[in-house]
Structure 1
Amino acid sequence: MADESFTDGTRVPSNGNNPCQKTEGVGLISSLPDSILQHILSFIPTKLAIRTSLLSKRWRHVWCDIPSISLDDRTLKAASIISLDDQTLKAASITLNRYTSLKMMNFHLNTTRKQNIPHINRWVEFAISRNVENLSLDFWHPGSSYNFQIPDFFYVNSSVKKLTITLSFTDLMVPACSLSWTSLKKLYLCNCNISDESMAKILSGSPLLESLTLYFCDQLRVLDLSKSLRLRTLKINRNIWVLGPTHIVAPHIHRLRLTNSQLPCTFVNLSSLAEARLDICIVPITGIFEADFLQDMVLKMLEKLQNVEKLTFEGNFLQIISLAEVRGVPFPMFKVKDLTLETVIFQYVIPGIERLLQNSPDLKKLTIRARDTNTIREKDINNYLQLQGLNPDQCWRSKDGVFFNNLPWYLESKHATSFVELVLKNTKTLDIDKIVILLNERYLRFKFEELAIPTLSHNNFSIALLKMPMTSNDDDW
């Protein structure tokens, strides 16, 4: 048998019964109390936690009481080292049979095999019997027409606080029996076909729900959150193939994150909204660009956001705002105090940024992150303007006559300098505490030190130009 690797990188020989062959590192860790060892093992995959039972008699049963279990049928065969064969299902069964903890914090089940479906109910029931608090079920069966039905017992639970359900665009059918998730605070539904009736049952049976995420949930049309008095965070992601939801009533929501699509979506009530993050999903390969519809939808959303104090707009949303601006469409005034713009810096977002700054007289903090969130094709925008009888070259020239780069990743020092000047000019009458512009070093076509930073001594604010990674370290918000 080959040497085993311990979690700290130490190599332990397979005949580890000889204490002289054990490294000092293993000895020190082995001396820790079970509770600390189990806490450490909870941060690694379950199959690796089980493998620690080979280290010595001291480790044989440590994993059996860890607070987290993750079953993944793509990797679970590695856990079969504790069984007499390497069959995935038997390995999973032995894993559950040897687990002794009466309280489970996290249980994750990921299955992609149709033949595992008969065993899912037992695994889920096992987790619920251990009063699991964080339950994640990922059922992905590509190319399968089999619709897995979650058992009725699953819908009555008093321990789960965070629930994640991912289906392969199959139906999430809440049964006729009453639903009761009395402790649930966070719900994440992904790739689920869920009806209005089923969603209403979930909301009615989850009185403590604080956060709801709907990621590509088709069939849902009306999302009425008016009776969910504790629900404060709503996240919705729709793409061009997923219609729902199209009608949203959310009077108690404080935080909204919406990635919309070229499909209708109407907000009826956002009276409590304090923070919003918006973008539009555009898939260039489809060749579809509903410019008129998108401008109308975005402007209606902006009307709903007039009193929101913290706003984040991403690249496609800014391009639609810019398109409406160059066409002379009127914009509302905003009470925003903290504004974040996530976009590449090029000519197709400049008019929208100018208008947002001019219409935000209460602005206190401005953050611009140069991130690649723009997917609308430039030729689609310019073709639309030409059909409207407009000259694209003239439309995208700034009000000061400056031409910005027309390619997303062709930012030269002159463009960056002009952009900083534009921001300063449109904020110089405001009492802003902080302006931050974050640039990615791979995004620059010049040395960072070459950038000429304009200053206006009579303005009481500072500007920080920082390098940043390509990806954002955002939390689940």
Structure 2
Amino acid sequence: MSAKVDTLNDFPDEILTHILSLLPCKDAFRFTVLSKRWISLCHSLSSLEIDDKGVNNSKDWIYFRRFMDKVMLSPRAQSLTLKSLDLGCWSQLWEDEPDDWLEAAKRRGLEKLTLFSFNLRLAPSSMLHCSVDLPFLKSLIMNQIFFEDKEDFMKLFFGCPKLEYLSIHGIKANGTIVEANAGVPVGGYFKHLSKLTRARISLISVPLIAVYNVKFLSVWIERSLSDKEINSFDKSLPMFENITRLQLSWSPSISVHDWEVVLKMLQNCPKLQTLTIVKANNSTTIDWEYPDHVPECVSSHLTNFKVIGSEACEADFRFATYILRNARLLQVMSIHHSLHANLSSCPRISPTCKLIQ
């Protein structure tokens, strides 16, 4: 073993650091028992991917917390840049917030933060004494995170002025799904997201005005909207001047898919080139009538249109023919085989358009 270690130590730091970066974080730090040199190399890793899988009892939990303290709080690491932190928190033993670890990551110039959890609760104190300040953060991914209060969730964005990518799913506050505009004034919290270019959000959790500037947008519609919410949706829908790719996905729990919602989005996406619709396989579609107008993006920019989970129903057929008849630059339409045969004989305005299944 000693000979192998000596051989490894002959490599320059750059190669050894690359080798360590390919290993799971826990395994990389286990190598520190081989040589003191490996301690500094491990702490110099700019990306950390850590999860608590296998932590099933209090003894495991103590070891895990000690490991996290060693990785995140060691004096050796404090002056080194940490660009990415991916933290998976699945254990039922989580009780405390990861305040110290997140604060240490923030001080090290964190650019990408990914949090996955079923039990992790966050408050602004997790980001520095009731004030969120992540000036270097460019990417934020949060899945199944609990906040003490829905306003805490909104405050998170206020301190991320350089955010370029946002992915939010399953956010809850006080045990309920966070809903945009539900008693919290959101405008001021999101006004700093001018650099955001890509976003994956839930329609009810993040107001669309927050992602007005993006080039790529994926929206998850996780439940049916009430008449009041639909009215609010219509009034608050911003103009997406920069969007070129849009994906709208309906949850399987929704019994009704409405093409009118799609059309409203298209009207506010003048430069859209690629449109993807993901329908729930068990959905039924509200009857849809041909509109008397054509959105600018459909007539002048749309090149790709894809529907996943379409049905052999009249409304789906009508919307597809509407696109074929009005999308002058359409190159590819990807549609379910149940509609493909009927659409193949439909007139299309684009001479280069191809139908695929």
| Alpha-carbon contact 1:279-1:316 (below 8 Å) kept | yes
Equivalent position of 2:328 in the other structure: 335
| 2:138 matches 1:161 | yes
- CA-to-aligned-CA distance 1:131-174 (integer Å, 9 cap, x gap): 01111122323xxxx85434364632211111111125766534
Of residues 309, 323, 341, the one that matches 1:350 is 341
5 Å-filtered alignment, 1:409-424, equals none
Superposition pairs of residues 389-428 of structure 1, within 5 angstroms: none
Query: Per the alignment, do residues 74 and 330 of structure 1 end up closer, same or farther by CA in structure 2, a change over 3 Å counting?
Result: closer
Identity %: 15
Partner of 1:118: 96
> Does the 8 A contact of 1:333 with 1:360 survive in 2?
yes
Gap runs ≥5 in structure 1 = 1-15, 371-477
| Distance in structure 1 (CA, Å) of the matches to 2:13 and 2:304 | 47
Return the offset for 1:176.
6.4
Match of 1:191 among 162, 170, 188: 170
Corresponding residue for 1:251?
240
Describe the shift of the 1:40–1:276 C-alpha distance in structure 2 as closer, same or farther (beyond 3 A).
Answer: farther
Once the two structures are superposed, the pairs formed by residues 354-365 of structure 1 within 5 Å of their partners are 354-355=345-346, 358-363=347-352
SS at match of 2:298: coil
Aligned to 2:190: 203
2:303 and 2:32 map into 1 onto residues whose CA distance is: 51
Amino acid at match of 1:44: L
Tell me, in whole angstroms, the C-alpha distance in 2 between the residues paired with 1:290 and 1:338: 28
Mapped to 2, the partners of 1:89 and 1:250 lie a distance apart of 46
1:350 is aligned with what amino acid?
Answer: A
Distance 1:56 1:367, change over 3 A: farther
Larger relative contact order (CA 8 Å, sep ≥ 6): 2
Give distance in 1, aligned partners of 2:223 and 2:81: 42
**Aligned in 2, Cα 1:176/1:361: closer, same or farther, shift over 3 Å?**
closer
Deviation beyond 6 Å, 4+ runs, structure 1: 241-245, 328-331
Q: Secondary structure at the match of 1:108?
A: strand
| C-alpha distance in structure 1 between counterparts of 2:166 and 2:85, whole Å | 15
Q: Are 1:149 and 1:172, in contact at CA under 8 Å, matched by a contact in 2?
A: no
- C-alpha distance in structure 1 between counterparts of 2:92 and 2:188, whole Å: 28
Give the counterpart letter for 2:195 in structure 1: L
Does the residue aligned with 1:91 lie in a helix, a strand or coil? Answer: helix
Matches within 5 A, 1:137-152: 137-141=115-119, 148-151=122-125
Inter-CA distance 315–182: structure 2 relative to 1 (3 Å threshold) = closer
Corresponding position of 1:380: none
Q: CA deviation at 1:306?
A: 2.0
* In structure 2, distance between residues paired with 1:223 and 1:188: 13
Residues 191/162 of structure 1: CA separation in 2 closer, same or farther (3 Å cut): same
8 A Cα contact 1:191 1:217, kept in partner: no
Question: With structure 2 as the length reference, what TM-score do the two structures score?
Answer: 0.73
Which residue of 9, 17, 20 corresponds with 1:38? 17
8 Å Cα contact 1:137-1:166 kept in structure 2: yes
Specify the code of the residue in structure 2 equivalent to 1:124. Answer: L
Which consecutive residues of structure 2, in runs of 5 or more, have no partner in the other structure?
172-177
Residue in structure 1 matched with residue 277 of structure 2 by the alignment: 278
SS at match of 1:48: helix
Describe the superposition over 1:52-71 as per-residue Cα deviations: whole angstroms up to 9, x where unpaired: 22344443432121111123
Larger CA Rg, structure 1 vs 2: 1
1:273–1:330 Cα change, 3 Å: closer
1:334 to 1:325, Cα distance in 2 relative to 1, 3 A: same
Match of 2:208 among 201, 213, 223: 223
Q: What residue is the counterpart of 2:284 in the other structure?
A: 290
TM-score (norm 1): 0.57
